Amino acid sequence: MAALETKEGPGVTETPSWRPRQARADVHSMLRVDQAGEYGATRIYAGQLAVLGPRSTATRLIARMAAQEQRHLDVFNAMMVERGVRPTLLQPVWRVAGHVLGAVTALMGPEAALACTAAVETEIDRHYGEQLKTLGDEDPDLVATIGEFRSDEVEHRETALAAGAENAVGYPILSAFIRGGCRAAIALSKRI
């Protein structure tokens, strides 16, 4: 077997990050699922804000997080167009499911709405972490975007927890249910 070539220069040695017979990251699938997730998040927040209205103590927090999620969605939409990636065929399902999840948790009260945020963001943090590990240094633009957005998602989770998410009635069950739904949505959006 031939030795792996490296590029060398004054003070520089570059070894390629990908080698033959080594799996490459499926960037199209990553973008598709990330865009679907951000779309779902905007729908969850829309449902929550529609139910909570302007008088809820959680409205200002949720509106701020919703604006960040919309920015994330806009960035992923642009990246998908630039790279020729089609969105998931399940987007109409996520539109309805996200809005319903947001509305139902808001009907349960502000703490339940925040518990929804904490649960979703816990799964998104885990998901983005897996993507960053898979990408390595393969796609620097996508790595930077995911890294930035992951920081925002962690902030959302911490904000929700600090605002009383864990005080929601049935928090452990509600959180487990929502996290399981997120994992299922991620798996389906990767493939469909």
Q: What is the pLDDT of residues 58-105, one digit of tens each?
A: 999 999 999 999 999 999 999 999 999 999 999 999 999 999 999 999
How many domains in the chain?
1
- Would residue 4 count as lying in a domain? no
- Would residue 16 count as lying in a domain? no
List Cβ neighbours of 116 (8 Å cut-off, separation of 6 or more). Answer: 44, 48, 101, 102, 105, 174, 178
* pLDDT, mean of residues 134-140: 90
- Would residue 5 count as lying in a domain? no
Which tens digit of pLDDT belongs to each residue from 115-125? Answer: 999 999 999 99
Give the Cα separation of 167 and 161 in Å (integer): 9
Give the Cα separation of 28 and 120 in Å (integer): 22
Give the Cα separation of 171 and 115 in Å (integer): 7
CATH number at residue 127: 1.20.1260
Structural domain boundaries enclosing 168: 26-191
Give the Cα separation of 128 and 144 in Å (integer): 11
- Output Rg (C-alpha) for the chain, integer angstroms: 19
- Would residue 19 count as lying in a domain? no
pTM recorded for the entire structure: 0.84
- Would residue 9 count as lying in a domain? no
Of 27, 23, 61, the residue nearest 45 (C-alpha): 61
- Would residue 15 count as lying in a domain? no
Distances in whole angstroms, Cα of residue 58 to Cα of each of 38, 54, 61, 119: 20, 9, 5, 16
- Would residue 13 count as lying in a domain? no
Of 52, 150, 153, the residue nearest 110 (C-alpha): 52
- Would residue 170 count as lying in a domain? yes
Could you tell me how many residues make up the chain? 192
